[in-house]
A and B are shown apart, each in its own frame.
Chain A
Amino acid sequence: MRRKRIGLPATLLILLALTGCWDRRELNDRLFELGSGVDRLGDGSIQVVGQFMIPAKSGEGGGDQRSYLVETGTGKTVSDCLLDMQLKLSRRITRGHRNNIYFGEEMAKAGIADVVDSVTRDPDSRLKSDIWIVKGGTALDFMQVSYPLENMPAIALSKIRHIIGKTTGNSLLEVMIEENVAGSGPTLPAVEIVRDEKLHKKTLQIYGRAILDRDQRLAGYYDRMESVYRLWITGETDRIPIAANARGAQGLFNTEVTRLRAKIRTTVQSGRVEIDVDLKGSGVILESLPDVDLRDPAVLRGFEADLNRRVEQDEAAVIRKAQKQFKVDVFHFGQAVERQHPDAWTRLEPHWAQAFSDAEITVHSHVKIKRIGLQGPPPNKR
């Protein structure tokens, strides 16, 4: 009895030490990959780029030396590339902290579906990542751009995205969710390398949104204004800055429209889809150049009409771009049709991309201006 009591724990303890299948890996033996990039090479193989933290440097700060290391690996599949890359590195690649994955434009045009499979299947990578498309460049170029404010350029993009009010770490998930939205094409944030000739430097900037078709191939880009107009319809943003031209009085005025609502009404008549988009919001005038007194209700109504006309025109242009240029429904119109006309949807679904392109879409805007600020006319003009 006594021997058994000591023997069992002792056996377990020895087993623990002898089996050797420990997952233990010291921080010194790990290399943290904070950002990855994927590029398509000319021969159809792919190149994976990793941006790794160099631990000793990033702590001390200062100096001209980079605190990060960029390494590449090439191969037919992502796993091939990773192995190729690991063979150049003395420490184990750990991707638990990878928040950003960049796709070069060539790669995006060829389709990112194959790469996304590796990202979502591999237990070492995490789902809470942002995927970016590098507009007009390769991921390798982009990842070599240094960013002076952060130790790691990869962190900078996440922070910028956070500051402009977007949720970080969700664009991979969005792509996967979008997959299940009827007829919808995924979109990804787009970045570009900006060359400032006067400052003689390269830096990175968020461009807008890259539009992918249902097969996850790059179809085109929306710039930042077009992107927020799209979000108004999908209901993913809560404020949008709009500059409109006042028709009566010459000059621009700027508003910020909040409490954004969008209602999509669809009708299907003999295979032809008509979509009516009803936009609502309340605006605040931030800047007004025309020499008029906004305290006058008639003037304000005029401004409202101008603002709504502006919104309707812009929004219609954005939708038209998707219809004619991309041929991808990125507004969840397909979902609306599915819900409002389930019977018609079963017929429409197989060729929704075409049906969307041919659809008659009208936009109605009902933005009310709620606040004009403290003064009526501009102070220096009267």
Chain B
Amino acid sequence: MLTTSRNAVTYPRESISAELDENEAMLRQLFADCYDIVFQRVELSEACAILMVYVDGLVDKSVFQSPLFQSWVLEKTSPGAKQAVDFPLLKEHFAVVRPIRTESSLQEITESVLGADLAVFVQGESEALLLETCGWEHRGVEEPASEVSIRGPRESFTETLQTNTSLVRRRIQTPHLKLQSVVLGKHSKTNVVIAYIEGQARADLVELVKQRVTDASMELVLESGYIEEFIEDKTYSPFPQIMNTERPDIVAANLMEGKVAILTDGTPQVLIVPITFWSAFQAVEDYYERFLYATLIRWTRFILFTVSLYLPSLYVAVTTFHPQLLPTNFLLNITSAREGVPFPGVIEALMMEFLFEGLREAGVRLPKAVGSAVSIVGALVIGEAAVKAGIVSSPMVIIVSITGIASFAIPRYNMSIPFRILRFPLLIVSGALGLFGIAMGTLIILIHMARLESFGVPFLSPIAPFQPGQIKDVLMRAPRRNKKMRKAILNGKPAGR
């Protein structure tokens, strides 16, 4: 959904005129063919006319029912009332109901109206009243859909920025929690809020984030992913260098650790920077469950991650290059199972991995009702029929399913993607060069990861560069009462480079 800046808006004049008719004509021309723009003209008397302009559906119409506004209308229509509109009085009336400002620039007024304000033009006044009346339809706070946890709060962010900031503010009630607003997108005018805690987040980090976010020039911002692509350090790396979450508790915890969150209007996904590789293994529940269990589970994830990256290529390398490495009886079983399979091991593995990715993609996109059909077909076709027909061997089916399960064990979805991608090149080099190829591939991946930075923080820290003090939340989850605040990575001590 890329848009180009073919048509910048041209305004017929800079500021509005005092004549109501002239203003109306001008705006009607500007908003020509815009069905949703409402022009509501009220002629209370000869000299007393007001024009209200707003976007249908975006404004909260209850403002018209406010007693002060209605009493003002009554007063104006009653016989013997003062003819001319008392502009300051009208403004005060409205000011009680909603935040209000006056504006004379045509461009400002147009943009405000599109941003859900109510513009009130008064005959004889060269300024318009702008009421903040936003009140559009939105989704309520619901359970997080993509980051489920057994223990912990059930709230997730919504598409409304104000709701999201309030969810964060409710968790951190200190004036040090700063929420700085930036408007992004030439056409979308999306509100983006940069959140951090003063004193926790390093000042230069906040500055860097602000600079990168404001420098991101886009036509349209529909999702935080638009921003992510502009502010990340290396776009061509398979590894995400920014974390996204829809859980306010994760955002609050990360803010307290001195990180910076970027909230975008219109999406429940909040960006958090900087992150390290190890955040892929930190699930929100680790911090709610007791530390022993959390540590155990974290190690399970480390192991499963290794499995998800290496298992298919290891299988291919060992069976086609180094069968000596297998115990004899195990080898006999594999050899018997592979007997009659027409494809080489690499091709078989690539085929099955491709099919698995396809099944997964189909499962994600399909409506829930059809989803189960896909899994049945997948299980039957791939699991049973393909083996029976002798097209693939059953060990390969086992390998691919174990790999699939293992790849689901990474709690951060976007962090599991690089390993899904890298599995394929590893598979190819292992099919060409065996264990040597896997070693070379791993080396290349490690070199790349060691070079990677997320907003000035080395991607592999605190393991490389090694910072023993911070390891307590990486290889284990130390009990909270022993855990010193892990600010050093962002605050104070240099990153050790």
| A interface residues (Cβ-Cβ under 8 A, vs B) | 16-17, 22-28, 30, 32, 34, 53, 55-60, 94, 96-97, 99, 126, 151-152, 155
Contacts and interface: CB of A to CB of B under 8 A. Distances in A.
A53 B332 CA distance: 8
B320 interface: yes
A97 B325 CA distance: 9
Nearest to B425: A13
Given A24-B432, A24-B434, A59 B321 contact: no
B52 interface: no
30 contacts: A16-B429, A17-B432, A22-B433, A23-B434, A24-B344, A24-B432, A25-B320, A26-B319, A26-B338, A27-B319, A27-B320, A27-B323, A27-B334, A28-B340, A28-B341, A30-B335, A32-B323, A32-B335, A55-B332, A55-B335, A55-B338, A56-B339, A56-B340, A58-B336, A59-B332, A59-B336, A59-B337, A96-B323, A97-B323, A126-B324
B240 interface: no
B331 interface: yes
Interface size class of B (residues with CB under 8 A): 20 to 34
B323 A55 contact: no
Contacts of A27: 319-320, 323, 334-335, 338, 345
Interface of B: 319-324, 328-329, 331-341, 344-346, 429, 431-434
B431 A24 contact: yes
A167 B157 CA distance: 64
Contacts of A155: 328-329
A34 to B, nearest CB: 7
A30 B332 CA distance: 12
Given A16-B432, A17-B432, A99-B328, A24 B320 contact: yes
Contacts of B336: 55-60
A32 B344 CA distance: 18
B190 to A, nearest CB: 32
Contacts of B338: 26-28, 55
Contacts of B340: 28, 56
A22 B432 contact: yes
Contacts of B332: 32, 53, 55, 58-59, 151-152
Nearest to B429: A16
Nearest to A5: B236
B268 to A, nearest CB: 37
Contact of B331 (A57, A97, A126): A97
Nearest to B323: A96
B335 A96 contact: no
A99 B332 CA distance: 14
Contacts of B345: 26-27
Given A28-B339, A56-B336, A97 B328 contact: yes
Contacts of B324: 96-97, 126
Contacts of A58: 332, 336
Contacts of B344: 24, 26
A30 B323 contact: yes
A55 B336 CA distance: 4
B10 to A, nearest CB: 38
Given A26-B320, A26-B345, A27-B334, 4 more contacts: A22-B433, A27-B320, A28-B338, A96-B323
A23 B321 contact: yes
A94 B434 contact: no
Shortest 10 CB-CB contacts between residues of A and residues of B: A59-B336, A96-B324, A55-B335, A55-B339, A56-B339, A55-B336, A27-B338, A24-B320, A27-B335, A97-B328
Contact of B323 (A56, A57, A94): A94
Contacts of B321: 23-25
Contacts of B339: 28, 55-56, 59
B8 to A, nearest CB: 32
A28 B323 CA distance: 12
Nearest to A19: B432
B61 to A, nearest CB: 56
B430 to A, nearest CB: 10
A32 B331 contact: yes
A99 B334 CA distance: 19
A164 to B, nearest CB: 20
Contacts of A126: 324
A129 B35 CA distance: 87
A347 to B, nearest CB: 47
Contacts of A56: 336, 339-340
Contacts of B328: 34, 97, 99, 155
Contacts of A25: 320-321
Nearest to B324: A96
Nearest to B325: A96
A26 B333 CA distance: 15
Contacts of B329: 155
A32 B431 CA distance: 21
B235 to A, nearest CB: 14
A162 to B, nearest CB: 13
A96 B319 CA distance: 12
Looking at B332, B338, B345, the one whose CB has the most chain A CB atoms below 10 A away is B332
A31 to B, nearest CB: 10
A306 B341 CA distance: 67
A59 B333 contact: yes
Nearest to A124: B324
Contacts of B319: 26-27
Contacts of B431: 24
Contacts of B433: 16, 22
B237 to A, nearest CB: 14
A94 B322 CA distance: 10
Nearest to A154: B328
Most chain B CB within 10 A, of A22, A55, A56, A57, is at: A55
Contacts of A99: 328
B309 to A, nearest CB: 20
Contacts of A28: 338-341
B445 to A, nearest CB: 14
A41 to B, nearest CB: 30
Nearest to A34: B328
A58 B329 CA distance: 10
A283 to B, nearest CB: 38
A152 B329 CA distance: 10
Given A23-B434, A24-B434, A53 B335 contact: yes
A26 B346 CA distance: 10
Contacts of B341: 28
A96 B320 CA distance: 13
A360 B283 CA distance: 77
Nearest to B322: A96
Contacts of A34: 328
